[in-house]
């Protein structure tokens, strides 16, 4: 018997105590399964999954619109990182379910595979199909609240990590109907990040407004100092969507082609309704963008609706060209890639029972959709071509140009391939690494020979390769592909990465799986020229190697913006936020913080956490001050035992006078509403004494303070640290003593009258004796500095390039790099004041 066989127990002699019986089986109750395996339900625990949670809740509101009951949705990101979504639909049912004996709202938020989308008549079309959406968000949230406006009453319920913390109760009266859901992502689940990106959410809201004509969506991000609500409303829906995609490009025909039809089919002895809307418009660019949606849910990987549409477009153009003798014998054959060049299209279908690849709905699998979309698109295009022969001829001529350019590009690619084979396979300027596993290899694309030299000397030769590029690259947005491929720098880049290039599904020249490096890092100077070169590089990668971006291979290096020096301490700083943190850290050195009342001195190890907590109080407090109340005043309303803070802030304007009150909880809010004679919406303009008046004499608003939970945690932590912060308003007597350089000749002592003054004083102290050097170019750093700051995996900071919004990315590349100058000038004028770092 071999050594391997000796390591195995004999089949007739099982391991004692390893009996496999029913006791070894387990069962996850309620939403525990979601917390244990979030990837099964929301697609992971990364940033994409975080934003998918928003979509899950949002899709329920959109389903209300599809059912004809919702006209407005409000989405708000709060200062504490939570988010609220409110609609004016019917409101989730709150009555007791006849079978399960619990309120409907509790059932749909705590029980998997429950809801109104299983054929009971609640919804005809819906983005949700599995009954796991909102309850999964509940499971992965630190806290989750729902308010239902229904039957003239406001019903309220709260949860923590999927478990009910407050049963359904009535907290007030309501005029209309609707649902308000608020939640904060749980950092125990989303360990990568719990920070919502406003751009990403805004893009999704814009899509929904386009796909649902007549739906108004208001989006507010309260985190900036001056929030600016955005309104999305499009009366012409998908037609306006396609027009926006083509902004900055010259359309071949002024009005998009719209094809729409409702049909039904029998599947498994069940009638399935399918509504198809296809809108397309050709432009003069060399790229295509086709976006697919099912019941308003984006399907980034396409599916059967996309394949049906693509085959129909190719067939219709070839058929019309052949029937009308537009093609000559010497002309090349027009392929699917050719007819898609310059095509912008949106495919939106509504399906009563769609089938998706997964819960995240990235790809539609319903086989019946392909035939329906294909036949409808073909018939619609043939009719349009017959009635608009001039437009049809322009589209066919563009497709012919694309076919000729494709042939020229094929020859250029072949030249590159042969040159690479004859020259050893890699460009001469490439300093390659010794590692051969692509997953471990990094390619730095560096601006200029000078920085390239420093990078080559400072790199880790085992796994870091350097490719310096000289001068500006060709703008691949304006030039045809054959001209782009004749550019020496582009050829070196293609040869180094090895994937080839291409944009069409049938183009075998581009194979992202063959990439020699799984980290392709663009490293340019932090100035105007560096930004331009980076944009040119990203333009080429986006247009010709999009697959490596989609696989997450492309990154942008973040050289430090500052080097700070104080005494013997030297440090590199990436951004202003980090600089602010460093100021607090430096300001805490060589100081003594003491309570003035009893002269208690805080140990140095206690000071840093206290300062961090006070700084967090300041940041979260911006949500309070924005509504007209002082942060110190609000904090002083905390409960002295539990440190809990009021949940609501009211503002009362009567004539020229304004006052505000804090309301502890829902009961206090209900009592206040009764006192004022208001409904739960609490946005009232009411004339005095009930008399009619064009100018209201009293206006009452109630703002929910979503930051209250986080602020309460901070107050408890400060109390535990012994700060003695029972009062935050400035007192007459000093409360803290701030001593610098204790025991030295230049010892100074400052009296502080409020806990909030501690942070300001430490920032002031942090700037003393500090020198700040601003870096502009990589060449200003020697090889050692460059490696330590920008290339060392332990210290560097990389930004991954992703494509969260294909339409927006396409439009931005066209705007910045395309032929149309006026839109670019307008963009610069509109954003000139938003520039953070300007080199002049």
Question: Exactly one of 447, 666, 707, 710 is catalytic; which is it?
Answer: 447
Q: What is the pLDDT of residues 596-608, one digit of tens each?
A: 888 888 888 888 8
Q: What are phi and psi of 434, to 5 degrees?
A: -85, -25
pLDDT score for 767:
78
Q: What is the pLDDT of residues 161-182, one digit of tens each?
A: 989 999 999 988 888 899 999 9
pLDDT score for 89:
93
pLDDT score for 689:
40
Q: Is the pLDDT of residue 122 over 50?
A: no
pLDDT score for 406:
77
Q: How confident is the model at residue 264 (pLDDT cuts 50, 70, 90)?
A: confident
pLDDT score for 412:
67
Q: How confident is the model at residue 19 (pLDDT cuts 50, 70, 90)?
A: low
Q: List all residues 6 or more positions away from 438 whose beta carbon is below 8 Å from its beta carbon.
A: 515, 516, 517, 518
Any catalytic annotation for residue 529?
yes
pLDDT score for 196:
95
Any catalytic annotation for residue 819?
no
Three-state DSSP at 531 gives helix
Q: Which of 112-121, 302-311, 570-579 has the highest mean pLDDT?
A: 302-311
Question: Exactly one of 525, 707, 710, 740 is catalytic; which is it?
Answer: 525
Crossing angle of helices 528-544 and 806-817, in 10° steps, is 130
pLDDT score for 125:
55
Q: For residue 93, which of 6, 8, 168 has the smallest C-alpha distance? A: 168
pLDDT score for 130:
41
Question: Exactly one of 46, 301, 449, 527 is catalytic; which is it?
Answer: 527
Q: Is the pLDDT of residue 517 over 90?
A: yes
Q: How confident is the model at residue 506 (pLDDT cuts 50, 70, 90)?
A: very low
Each residue of 289-314: b (16+ CB within 10 Å) or e? Answer: bbbbbbbbbbbebbbbbbbbbbbbbb
Q: Which residues face 771 on adjacent strands?
A: 565
The residue-averaged pLDDT of 244-269 equals 88
Cα 154 from Cα 815, distance rounded (Å): 47
Cα 93 from Cα 91, distance rounded (Å): 6
The residue-averaged pLDDT of 682-692 equals 44
pLDDT score for 829:
45
User: What is the widest separation between alpha-carbon atoms in the chain?
Assistant: 102
Question: Exactly one of 46, 216, 460, 529 is catalytic; which is it?
Answer: 529
491 torsion bin: left (phi>0), alpha (psi -120 to 50), beta (else): alpha
pLDDT score for 595:
87
Q: How confident is the model at residue 686 (pLDDT cuts 50, 70, 90)?
A: very low
Each residue of 669-698: b (16+ CB within 10 Å) or e? Answer: bbebbeebebbbbbebeeeeeeeeeeeeee
pLDDT score for 809:
54
- For residue 194, the number of C-alpha atoms closer than 13 Å in the C-beta half-sphere is 18
Q: What is the pLDDT of residues 432-484, one digit of tens each?
A: 999 999 999 999 999 877 778 888 999 999 999 999 988 778 877 777 777 78
Which position has the higher pLDDT, 31 or 188?
188
User: What's the alpha-carbon Rg for the chain, to the nearest Å?
Assistant: 31
Which position has the higher pLDDT, 425 or 83?
83
pLDDT score for 393:
94
Q: Is the pLDDT of residue 698 over 80?
A: no
Beta strands in 655-726 (DSSP E): 657-663, 683-686, 698-704
Q: How confident is the model at residue 796 (pLDDT cuts 50, 70, 90)?
A: confident
Average pLDDT, the chain: 82
Any catalytic annotation for residue 525?
yes
Cα 192 from Cα 668, distance rounded (Å): 38
**In what helix (H) or strand (E) does residue 163 lie, and over which residues does it extend?**
strand 163-173
pLDDT score for 838:
41
Q: List all residues 6 or more positions away from 744 whose beta carbon is below 8 Å from its beta carbon.
A: none
**In what helix (H) or strand (E) does residue 443 lie, and over which residues does it extend?**
strand 442-447
Q: How confident is the model at residue 90 (pLDDT cuts 50, 70, 90)?
A: very high
Express as a percent the part of the chain with pLDDT over 70.
Answer: 84
Contact (Cβ atoms closer than 8 angstroms) between residue 688 and residue 192: no
pLDDT score for 461:
94
Q: What is the pLDDT of residues 58-83, one digit of tens each?
A: 988 998 998 889 999 999 999 999 99
The residue-averaged pLDDT of 76-97 equals 93
Three-state DSSP at 138 gives helix
Any catalytic annotation for residue 527?
yes
Pick the range with the lowest mean pLDDT from 53-67, 125-139, 605-619. Answer: 125-139
The residue-averaged pLDDT of 691-706 equals 70
Q: Which of 385-399, 471-485, 728-742 has the highest mean pLDDT?
A: 385-399
Q: List all residues 6 or more positions away from 233 whose beta carbon is below 8 Å from its beta carbon.
A: 209, 215, 216, 217
The residue-averaged pLDDT of 111-116 equals 59
Q: Which of 196-205, 280-289, 378-387 has the highest mean pLDDT?
A: 378-387
Q: What are phi and psi of 587, to 5 degrees?
A: -65, -20
Whole-model pTM?
0.71
Pick the range with the lowest mean pLDDT from 70-79, 523-532, 731-740. Answer: 523-532
């Amino acid at each position: 018997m071999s050594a391997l066989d000796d390591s195995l127990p004999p089949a007739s002699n099982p391991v004692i105590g390893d009996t496999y019986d029913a006791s070894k089986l387990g069962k996850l109750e309620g939403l525990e399964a979601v917390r244990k395996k979030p990837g099964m339900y929301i697609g992971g625990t990364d940033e994409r999954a975080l934003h998918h949670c928003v979509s899950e809740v949002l899709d329920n509101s959109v389903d209300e619109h599809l059912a004809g009951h919702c006209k407005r949705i409000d989405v708000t990101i709060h200062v504490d990182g939570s988010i609220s979504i409110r609609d004016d639909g019917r409101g989730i049912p709150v009555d007791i379910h006849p079978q399960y004996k619990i309120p409907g709202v509790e059932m749909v938020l705590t029980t998997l595979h429950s809801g109104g989308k299983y054929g009971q008549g609640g919804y005809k079309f819906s983005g949700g199909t599995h009954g796991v959406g909102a309850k999964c968000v509940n499971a992965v949230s630190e806290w989750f609240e729902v308010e239902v406006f229904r039957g003239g009453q406001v019903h309220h319920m709260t949860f923590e990590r999927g478990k009910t913390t407050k049963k359904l109760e009535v907290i007030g009266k309501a005029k209309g109907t609707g649902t308000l859901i608020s939640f904060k992502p749980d950092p125990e689940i989303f360990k990568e990040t719990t920070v919502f990106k406003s751009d990403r959410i805004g893009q999704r809201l814009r899509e929904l407004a386009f796909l649902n004509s007549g739906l108004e969506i208001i989006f507010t991000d309260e985190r900036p100092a001056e929030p600016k609500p955005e309104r999305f409303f499009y009366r012409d829906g998908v037609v306006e969507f396609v027009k926006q995609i083509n902004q900055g490009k010259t359309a071949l025909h002024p009005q998009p082609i719209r094809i729409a039809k409702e049909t039904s089919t029998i599947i498994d002895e069940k009638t399935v309704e399918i509504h198809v809307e296809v809108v397309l418009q050709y432009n003069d660019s060399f790229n295509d963008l086709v976006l697919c949606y099912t019941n308003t849910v984006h399907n980034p990987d396409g599916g059967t609706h996309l394949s049906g549409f693509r085959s129909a477009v190719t067939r219709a153009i070839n058929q019309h060209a052949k029937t009308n003798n537009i093609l000559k014998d010497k002309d090349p054959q027009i392929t699917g890639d050719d007819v898609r060049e310059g095509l912008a299209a949106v495919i939106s279908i509504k399906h009563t029972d769609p089938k998706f690849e997964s819960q995240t709905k990235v790809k539609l699998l319903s086989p019946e959709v392909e035939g329906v979309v294909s036949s409808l698109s073909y018939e619609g295009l043939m009719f349009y071509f017959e009635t608009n022969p001039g437009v049809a001829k322009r589209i066919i001529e563009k497709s012919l140009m694309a076919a000729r350019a494709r042939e020229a590009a094929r020859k250029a690619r072949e030249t590159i391939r042969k040159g690479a084979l004859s020259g050893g396979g890699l460009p001469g300027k490439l300093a390659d690494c010794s590692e051969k596993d692509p997953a471990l290899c990094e390619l730095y694309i560096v601006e200029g020979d000078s920085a390239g030299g420093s990078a080559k000397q400072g790199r880790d030769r085992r796994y870091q390769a350097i490719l310096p590029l000289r001068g500006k690259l060709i703008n691949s947005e304006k030039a045809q592909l054959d001209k782009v491929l004749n550019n020496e720098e582009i050829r070196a880049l293609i040869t180094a990465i090895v994937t080839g290039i291409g944009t069409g599904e049938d183009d075998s020249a581009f194979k992202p799986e063959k990439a020699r490096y799984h980290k392709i890092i663009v490293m340019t100077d932090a100035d105007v020229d560096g930004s331009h070169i980076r944009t040119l590089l990203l333009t080429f990668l986006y247009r010709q190697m999009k697959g490596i971006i989609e696989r997450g291979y492309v990154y942008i290096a973040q050289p430090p913006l500052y080097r700070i020096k104080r005494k013997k301490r030297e440090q590199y700083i990436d951004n202003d936020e980090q600089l602010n943190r460093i100021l607090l850290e430096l300001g805490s050195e060589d100081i003594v913080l003491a309570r003035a009342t009893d002269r208690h001195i805080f140990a140095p190890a206690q000071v840093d956490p206290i300062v961090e907590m006070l700084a967090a109080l300041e940041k979260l407090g911006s949500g309070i001050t924005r509504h007209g109340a002082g942060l110190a005043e609000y904090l002083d309303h905390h409960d002295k035992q539990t440190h809990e803070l009021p949940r609501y802030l009211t503002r009362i304007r009567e004539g020229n006078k304004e006052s505000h009150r804090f309301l502890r909880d829902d009961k206090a809010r209900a009592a206040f509403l009764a006192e004022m004679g208001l409904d739960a919406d609490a946005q009232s303009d009411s004339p005095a004494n009930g008399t009619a008046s064009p100018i209201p004499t009293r206006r009452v608003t109630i703002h929910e303070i979503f930051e209250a939970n986080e602020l309460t945690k901070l107050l408890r932590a400060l109390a535990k640290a012994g700060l003695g912060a029972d009062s935050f308003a400035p007192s007459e007597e000093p409360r803290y003593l701030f001593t610098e350089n204790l025991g030295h000749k230049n010892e100074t002592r400052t009296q502080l009258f409020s806990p909030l003054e501690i942070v300001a004083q430490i920032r002031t102290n942090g700037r003393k004796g500090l020198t700040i050097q601003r870096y502009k170019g990589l060449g200003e750093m020697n090889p050692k500095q460059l490696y330590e700051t920008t290339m060392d995996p332990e210290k560097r900071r990389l930004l991954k390039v992703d494509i969260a919004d294909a339409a927006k990315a396409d439009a931005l590349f066209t705007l910045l790099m395309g032929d149309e100058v006026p839109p670019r000038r307008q963009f610069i004028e509109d954003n000139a004041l938003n520039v953070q770092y300007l080199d002049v």
